[in-house]
Each structure stands twice: as structure tokens, then as C-alpha cells.
Amino acid sequence: MNMLVAEQFLNGIQFGISLFLMSAGLTLIFGIMGVINLAHGSLYMIGAYAAALVAAKTGSVLLALIAGLAGAGVAGLLLEVLVINRLYDRDHLDQVLATFALILIINETATILVGRQPLFVAMPPLFSGSVTLLPGLVYPVYRLVVIGVGLVVGAGLYFLINRTRVGMLVRAGATSREMVRALGVDIKALYTLVFGLGAVLAGLAGAMAGPVLSVQVGMGEQILILAFVVVVIGGVGSVRGAFYGALLAGLIDTLARAFLPGLLRHVMNGSNADALGSGLSSMGVYLLMAVVLLVKPRGLFVKS
Amino acid sequence: MKMKTLTMVSALAFALGSASAAYAADPLAIGFITTLSGPAGYLGQDIRDGFNLAVQMEGGKLGGVPVKVVVEDDGLKPGKGREIADKMLKDQHIKLFTGIVFSNVLGATVPDVLDAGAIYVSPNAAPSPFAGKSCNKNYYVVSWQNDSLHESAGVNANSLGYKSAFIMAPNYQAGKDALAGFKRTFKGKIVGEIYTRLDQTDFSAELAQVRAAKPDAFFQFEPGGLGIALLRQYQQAGLGKEVPMVVAAPSLDAVTLKAVGEAAVGVNVSAHWNSDFDNPANKAFMAAWTKAYNRPATYYSSQGYDAALAIAAALKQTGGKVDDTAAFRTAMLKADFHSVRGNFKFGNNQHPVQDWFALKVEKGGDGQLHLVTQKKILSNYGDSFAKDCKL
């Protein structure tokens, strides 16, 4: 039983890490540029497709990863230059409409180019199979790799934001955009850089999702909503908040899914417990968001 | 003047004559409403291609009667299916329908077809109401009754000697029916039962519970892309070696097999048809299919083909007439054709009474994965709702 709890914790952390890669970009873009970018999920999808197609062609993990990052990064820069950059001074409704249109356009284009059949990425042989972490605790190697990569990226972002000049500007931008501009910083270049970084992170999440999930049109929207929830929980513009918020959301979602029906079965019969349990567990993360909005509306991990 | 009138009259007569001649040679139109677009589009394509294959092999005829198959895509939208049926009934005066893939489209479309006095022959979907209380004289099913798919999986688990099972399906009607069908025939203990979200793509939390419960077998019904993701994650978690998987035909066909790859080796499937069936009708079908389409035949293809053969047998006896539904019914219910499945009869609710087989995914000598037939697990099996049907 204890091993089951440990395994579910690992599952929750792994899910949280994927959410973090998505929400880190989202929170920066929203916090610094004030843009609600619904098309962030599309960048995740583009990263996944680029990696999947290259992996199928070459069979190389490294090339696939590079393709995923580059694909999403280039797509992100194009979006920024062609569309998003015109939206900075518009209100949120315009941004939502424009980026929602981007979702539709990108999804339809992907359908035309690669079709509706989901793509499946072969598991890299190096990471296939599972390892015994503790007696009775067997865990897929690939998911451990995902957790590892996420932690490394988290540490890298921490260093970038807290220890470098660019990071200082990013932090300053998140606090007061006008002041940064007034101090003579080329805010346009900073915006493009941040957007590109967010896109690359989304591409990384997408590329890593390929071997576990199926790569298909619309995959971005599934994770996008949760990523927005994470941004709200963690606090807009805070990468640190996104990290803890994502882990919290991942753990709550997974643990509720895993244990709520079992707990409810002590008080009611099987099928009712399952129905209520799965209903409640899919609400879990949103309930958390509602509580956060009530108690600490600026985010759980933001110093007020 | 006179000359002119004469010319006109003869021209008219000619026009009339040619019109009636055209009428006599007009092929019988068959309304084929099916799902061709979207992720599930390959199901409809295979049913359509199987049906058309039978028509082509007879040179554009079914049972000696020239036919024209009018195909329309419902896009997996019940409302769209109904709209197409109304158009075909009213504008094109079609009397014979087939093709629908999904139960929800069938539920919205078929009542209109039957109310208009037309005939429906199902090559796939067969929800329980139409097999029991709401059965209808003009409604025939050539595939199976939905629940019998999962009942056969339960029987398969019994015959493989499994004493306990963990079962899982998405939280919607077809998922609940699947688990109910499995439980109806499985004699062992159900040690765990999970309903997943229909949009779920990561099953790690559920698979951890399967491992902890240590069941003899794992039964799942996760359709389409969900099932493919689940099979891969099952293998990645190392469960493939620990807990054998038992599924019904829709969870593992030739297309899913290709997408899943190695992760599918060893999965137990129960089905009414497989490409390796050793009977003359199936051999002829497989040869013609491979020649015409050069892609693996799925059980959807075989059902489309069988539906065409069943209709052909009936048309042959009625001389192509479908207006006299009583005569058509008498002819149809004889099921005077050689099904690619071998044994085939209609039960009292006009659903199939047929044999079910255990299949297993094996790696062939060519390095490719194949579904290989193991043994017969059910003989002359109908469905659980026939007793409620009063026809």
C-alpha cells in the first residue's frame, strides 16, 4: 500500500513537471507582456508533432528533441512577430479572440498536413522499460527522465531569472512594465525573447509527451486549461509560483484520481463511489483554484 | 403544321419511351450513411470499402440486381446522420439503408428510416434497445449486438483460467455497457473497477492501482486513441508481463495493432471474425480485399462485406424488390449466404447468432505482428436482449 502511495506521488510529480513546462512560459508571457496567449497549447502541439515526425524519419532521440524545441521556438517567434506583437496594447478580449483564432488555424493546418490519425512516437530504447526503485516500487524509466529534465529546466530558469541581467529585466518587467520601458530598455526585444523562451518550453513539454501520450490535433487544449489554472494558483508572472503550483496541481489531480473512489467506497457502494470519485477528482484542481482566488487572489507563492 | 405536330408527338413518345427504359434499368439505390471524417473515419472507410468490394465482385450488382451505393458522411454527428436519412428518404426515395458505424448516430437516424417504412441493415452498431423491446421487423443487424462483444471477452477470460480481473472503461454509456457486459459472463472476482475520464490520455494513476491489486487479468474498453495510449503505457509500466490483458474486438483491430506495435504482443482478444479464418468465403474475401486496397482488412471491412452479401441473398430472392418489406424479410431471414465468419444465422430479434473466437497478438516469422486465432470460445451465441423482443 505504501509503495502504491509512493508510486502515485511520482505520477503526480511527473504530471506536475509537464504542467510546469507549459505554465512557466504562460506565466511569463502573461505576467510581463500582459497577453493572454491561448495559442500556447498550439506551440505544445507543434513541438510534439515536430519531434514525432523527426523521430519517425531519423530514429534519433536527440534530433527529435532538437526538432521539437526548434519547431516550437520558430513557430513562437513567427506568432510573436506576425500576430501577438500587435496585441500588446489591445484589451484582453481582443487577445483572447485573436489567439483563439490562432488555435483554430493551427489545428486545421495540422489536420491538413498530417491528418487526423494520431501519431505515435516509439519509446527511445535507452529509456524504455521500468526500474525497481524500492522493493515493490517499479517505475517507468522514461517518466523518471521527464521528472529529471523538468527539475534541470526549473533550476536553469531559476538561475536565469535570479542571477542574470536578462532575468533581472524579466523580473522588473513582471513588476512594472512601464518603469522598465522608461529606463530605456528595448522592451520589444525583451518581449520577443520571453515569448520565444516560453515557446521553447512548451515545445519541450510537447516533445517529451510524445512517447507517453498520442500526438494528435487538439492535444494542446487539453493541457492548456490546467496550465492556466497553475498560473492562477502560483501567481501571474512568477516562475517560482508556476513550479510549486504545477507540482501541487499535478499531485492533487493524480492523488484524487487514485484514492478518492477508494475512500468513498467506505461510505457508499462501488459504482456510486466511482462516479462521484471521478467527478470530484476532475474538479479537485479547480476547487483549489477557487480557494486560492478567495484567500490569496494574487497567487499562493507570490510575496505580497 | 401537321408535320410539326407529328414530329413533336414522336419526339415526346421517344422521350417517354427512353424515360421508362431508363426507369427499368435504374439501379436500386442503397443509402449508405457512415462516418468517414474524424479520428474514427477509418471505421466507416473500411465498412464502405468492404461493402463496395462485394458489389464490384458481382460487377455492380448484388444478388443479380444492379445497385447504386449512395455514400454520405455523418461526421459522427447524430443530427447530421438524421438529416442525411431524411434527404435520402424524401428526395431520392431510397428504401434500403445501411452503413452507420456509431450507436449514437444509429439511435438518432434509424427510427426515422423505420417510421418511413424503409429497411435498415446494420453493418456495425447495435445498441441494446433495438435488440430487445424496440426490435423492429425492418431492422436487421449483420455484425453483433454491442454487449455480446464484451460478454465474449468475459467468456474468454474464463476459458483462459483467470480467477480475478481488474476492469476499466471511460465514464460514458458505451463504457458502462462494456463493463456490465464483461461482468455478465465473467465468473471470477472483480478486484477493481475504474471509470476514467473520456478525455484522459495519461493512465499512470490507474495503472498503479492495477499493479497494486494484483489481478489475474486486466479488461479494458478504451476506444480509439485512448486505447492506443493505454496499451503503450501499460507496456512501459512493465505491466504487460505481470498482468495479461483481455479485450474485445473494438479495442484491438489491425489499425490499432499497427499504431501500438510491440506493446500489443500477448494481448488476448475475442472476436467473431479474424483475417486468418480458414473458410472459402473468407479466403475469397481476403484475396479480393488485398488486391483491391492493399491494406490490412479490419473486422469492420468484413462486416461491410457480409452486410452486402446478406442484402444480395435477399435481393436475389425478391428479384430486386424492396417495397414489399414482408417478402424482403422472409428472404433476408434465411441468411442464404456464405459469411466470411463461417457460421451465421439470424436470431428472433434479427441479430446474429454466431460463433466467437479467442485471438492473440503474436509476432510472426516475418517480424510483423498478427492477430492469430486460438480457438472457438462460444458457439451459436446470440445476445442477452433477444428474449425481450416480441416479433
Q: Length of chain B, please?
A: 391
Across the interface, which of A7, A15, A129 has its CB nearest the CB of B208? A7
Which of A178, A301, A239, A237 lies closest to A31, judged by CA?
A: A237
Same domain, B173 and B254: yes
Residue B134 lies in a domain: yes
The helix (run of H) or strand (run of E) holding residue B361 is strand B352-363
Cell numbers found for residue B28: 436500386
Question: Is residue B93, in this structure, part of any structural domain at all?
Answer: yes
- Are residues B222 and B311 located together in one domain of the fold? no
Mean pLDDT along residues A78-82: 90
Between A and B, how many CB-CB pairs are < 8 A?
Answer: 94
B9 found inside a domain: no
B237 with A274: Cβ contact below 8 A: no
- Test mutation, A2, A5, A11, chain B, max B CBs within 10 A: A11
Cβ within 8 Å, pair A278-B196 = yes
User: Is B65 inside a domain boundary?
Assistant: yes
Residues of A in contact with B232 (CB under 8 A): 120, 123, 211-212
B10, part of any domain:
no
Nearest-by-CA chain B residue for A281: B197
Question: What pLDDT was estimated at residue B83?
Answer: 96
Whether residue B28 is found in the same domain as residue B152: no
Instruction: Report the pLDDT value the prediction gives residue A283, as an integer from 0 to 100.
Output: 85
Region A258-286: mean pLDDT is 79
**Three-state secondary-structure class, residue B365:** coil
Residues A161-186: what's their mean pLDDT? 83
Average pLDDT over residues A69-84: 92
Q: Does residue B2 belong to any structural domain of this protein?
A: no
Neighbours of B321 (CB within 10 A): 16
Residue numbers in A near B214 (CB within 8 A): none
Inter-chain residue contact B237 with A138, CB threshold 8 Å:
yes
Phi/psi for B39 (5° steps) reads -60, -25
pLDDT at position B8 is 54
With a cut of 70, say whether residue A290 has pLDDT above it: yes
Q: B308 and B225, same structural domain?
A: no
Domain hosting B174: range is: 148-271+357-386
Q: Are B245 and B220 in contact (CB under 8 A)?
A: yes
Please give, rounded to a whole number of angstroms, the shortest distance from the CA of B241 to a CA of chain A: 11
Grid cell, residue B197, equals 475520464
Q: Does the beta-carbon distance from B197 to A282 stay under 8 Å?
A: yes
Q: Report pLDDT for B76.
A: 85
DSSP B77-138: -HHHHHHHHHHHHHTS---EEE----HHHHHHHHHHHHHTT-EEEESS---HHHHTTT--TT
Rounded Cα distance between B204 and A251, Å, is: 12
A274, B194: Cβ pair inside 8 Å?
Answer: yes
B258 and B365 in a common domain: yes
B199 has a chain A CB within 8 A of its CB: yes
Chain B, 18 to 37: residues with Cβ < 8 Å from chain A are 37
- The predicted structure's pLDDT at residue B13: 47
Q: Has residue A31 got a pLDDT over 50?
A: yes
Does B267 share its domain with B246? yes
Return the pLDDT at B1. 47
CB–CB contact B195 A275 (8 Å): yes
pLDDT tier for residue B331 given thresholds of 50, 70 and 90: very high
The answer to whether residue B261 neighbours chain A at the CB level (below 8 Å) is yes
When comparing pLDDT for B81 and A174, which is higher?
Answer: B81
Residues of A within 8 A of B261 (CB-CB) are 120, 122
Do B255 and B340 lie in one domain? The reply is: no
C-alpha distances in angstroms, B240 versus A214, B102, B244, B266?
Answer: 19, 30, 6, 8
Q: Is B72 helix (H, G, I), strand (E, B) or coil?
A: strand
pLDDT band at B4 (very low <50, low <70, confident <90, very high): low
Contact (CB, 8 A) for B85 and B109: yes
**B209 in the same domain as B91:** no
Same domain? B185 vs B314: no
Lowest pLDDT segment from A93-107, A149-163, A166-180, B49-63: A166-180
> Which residues have CB under 8 Å from B325's CB, separation 6+?
B117, B119, B137, B138
CB contact under 8 A, A118 and B194: no
Contact A222 B201 (CB under 8 A): yes
For all residues of chain B together, what is the average pLDDT?
89
Q: Evaluate whether ipTM surpasses 0.90.
A: no
How crowded is residue B122: how many other Cβ atoms within 10 Å of its Cβ?
27
Do residues B30 and B120 both lie within one domain? yes
B163 close to B189: Cβ distance less than 8 angstroms: yes
Contact A11 B228 (CB under 8 A): no
Residue B31, classed as helix, strand or coil, is: strand
What is the pLDDT at residue B229?
84
Any chain A CB within 8 A of the CB of B112?
no
Residues of B in contact with A122 (CB under 8 A): 261
Distances (CA, A) of A236 to A169, B2, B12, B138, B207: 16, 93, 81, 62, 34
Distance CA B246, CA B215 (A): 12
Residue-level pLDDT at B53: 97
DSSP H or E segment with residue A301? none
Please report residues of A whose CB lies closer than 8 A to that of B201: 213-214, 219, 222
Give residue ranges of A with CB < 8 Å to any B CB: 1, 3-4, 7-8, 11-12, 14-15, 116-118, 120, 122-123, 128-130, 138-140, 142-143, 211-214, 216, 219, 222, 254-255, 257-258, 261, 270-271, 274-275, 278, 282
Q: Which of B193, B225, B238 sits opposite A216 (nearest CB)?
A: B225
Contact check, Cβ <8 Å, A275/B171: yes
Is B236–A214 a contact, with Cβ atoms under 8 angstroms apart? no
| Residues above pLDDT 70, as percent of chain A | 98
Partnered with residue B371 across adjacent β-strands are B361
Does the distance separating the beta carbons of A4 and B209 come in below 8 Å? yes
CATH number of residue B299's parent domain = 3.40.50.2300
**Cα–chain center distance at B188:** 29
In chain B, % of residues over pLDDT 70: 93
Mean per-residue pLDDT, B75-104: 93
Residues B92, B237: one domain?
A: no
Q: Do B238 and A140 touch (CB under 8 A)?
A: yes
Q: How far apart are CA A33 and CA A86, in angstroms?
A: 12
C-alpha cell belonging to residue A257: 484520481
Please tell me the predicted confidence (pLDDT) of residue B156.
Answer: 95
Dihedral of alpha carbons B323, B325, B327, B328, sign: positive
For residues B180 and B241, membership in a common domain is answered with: yes
Q: Is residue B17 part of a domain?
A: no
B171 interfacial to chain A (CB closer than 8 Å): yes
Concatenated DSSP letters of B47-64: HHHHHHHHHHHTTSEETT
Of A23, A124, A111, A4, which Cα lies nearest the Cα of A64? A124
Q: Count of CB atoms within 10 A of residue A214's CB?
A: 24
Decide if B202 and A7 are in contact by the 8 Å CB cutoff.
no
Whether the per-residue pLDDT at B23 is higher than 80: the answer is no
> Is B126 within 8 Å of B145 (Cβ atoms)?
yes
Query: What pLDDT, in 10s, does the model give residues B115-133?
Result: 999 999 999 999 988 999 9
A88-97, B289-298, B338-347: least confidently modelled range: A88-97
Sorted by where each begins, the domain ranges of chain A are 2-216
Cβ <8 Å between A270 and B238: no
Chain A residue closest to B228 (CA)?
A214
Query: What is the C-alpha to C-alpha distance for residues A223 and A209, in angstroms, rounded to an integer?
Result: 11
Nearest CB neighbour to B201, from listed A122, A214, A258? A214
| Among chain A residues, CA nearest to B204 | A11
Cβ contacts of A219 on chain B, cutoff 8 Å: 201
Cell of B12: 415526346
Q: Strand order of the sheet with strand B96-98?
A: B61-62, B65-73, B28-34, B96-98, B119-122, B139-141
Neighbour count for residue B319 (Cβ, 10 Å): 11
CA distance B389 to B383: 11
Neighboring chain A residues of B166 at a CB cutoff of 8 Å = none
- If one counts the domains in chain B, the total is 2
